Amino acid sequence: MEIDIFSSQQIISGQPSEKVAQRFERKFFILPKNIGFAYTLLRQVCRPDKEFPQSRVNSLYFDTADLDEHMRSASGDYKKDKIRIRWYDGITDNQAMVPVYIELKSRQGFTSSKQRQKFLVPSTSLMPEQLGSGIIDKSVLIDTLAGFGFFLEKPVQPVIMISYRRYRFNEMQTGVRVSLDYDIRAQAVAVELGRRERAVRLPGGVIEVKGPNLELPKTLRRMRFLDTDWARFSKYSYCIEAFLSEPGGVARFWPSGRIIEP
């Protein structure tokens, strides 16, 4: 059943929410020089996803004025949540309405789950200069999160838009989901965040492995040839840190929390 919500700014059409079962995530930071090698390696041991083998992923992230969720992620808190609105690929001039998803990603330790609900919004609301409005009315965002069982303790606002190229795979022997993300770009939406730079492009990429446990399929253990290790990696915090650091610093483009494995 679809619900039409009318406002003076936009028409939003919502659809029933989806919930992704709890899963374990492992992330591996890939040096810029090794992204092509990483793609080749994954093609040898994984099948491209049948439905969405590749796309550009765009996400508008919400946080408090004090960046509470970023601080929880950066400090490695056991429990953390991310609120975002996500859409895929580019928007063409002839599209009047486009699909977007309100998503709540919840993480406890190494396990995560995701809930999301699909909406149709005017394509004009996704233009860079309009992102500060939040794409979807705030009341709809709050009600949707409440429907997920998540209730805001503080007001949130659009903070940053992150875009990256994603290849999706399934490991041949186990069917475990694997993705390779690269060409990570970020645009500051909150005015106070972009006082030094309005946009950054971050080198490197990340391989994400999502499955029922922490053990890597044997075929994926070849990733040791990529000069990588398991990382406590968050694209959101990665990009926020880049904006908060002084321009010109090399360390701002290196993710924190790398976990060395034997």
Distances in whole angstroms, Cα of residue 83 to Cα of each of 11, 40, 190, 202, 262: 21, 33, 15, 22, 34
User: 262 in a domain, yes or no?
Assistant: no
Q: What CATH number is attached to the domain comprising 207? A: 2.40.320.10
DSSP class of 157? E
Q: How far apart are CA 59 and CA 185, in angstroms?
A: 11
The answer as to whether 22 is a domain residue is yes
Looking at the structure of the chain, the number of domains it has is 1
Within a domain: residue 212?
Answer: yes
Q: How far is residue 180 from each of residues 35, 45, 214, 223, 261, measured CA to CA in Å?
A: 9, 13, 18, 12, 20
Residuewise pLDDT in 10s, the chain (262 residues): 233 333 334 445 667 677 666 788 899 999 999 999 999 999 999 999 998 899 999 999 999 999 999 998 878 777 889 999 999 986 666 678 999 999 999 988 778 899 999 999 999 999 999 999 999 999 999 999 999 999 999 999 999 999 999 999 999 999 999 999 999 999 999 977 766 778 888 888 999 999 988 889 999 998 888 888 766 678 898 888 888 877 665 555 556 544 434 3
220 domain-assigned: yes
User: CA–CA separation, 192 vs 61, rounded Å?
Assistant: 15
Phi, psi angles (nearest 5°) of residue 89: 55, -170
Closest CA to 205 of 68, 24, 20, 42: 42
Residue 82 lies in a domain: yes
Q: 68 lies in a domain?
A: yes
Does residue 138 belong to any structural domain of this protein?
Answer: yes
Cα dihedral 210, 91, 70, 133 in deg (nearest 10):
-150
Enclosing domain of residue 140: 3-257
Residue 103 lies in a domain: yes
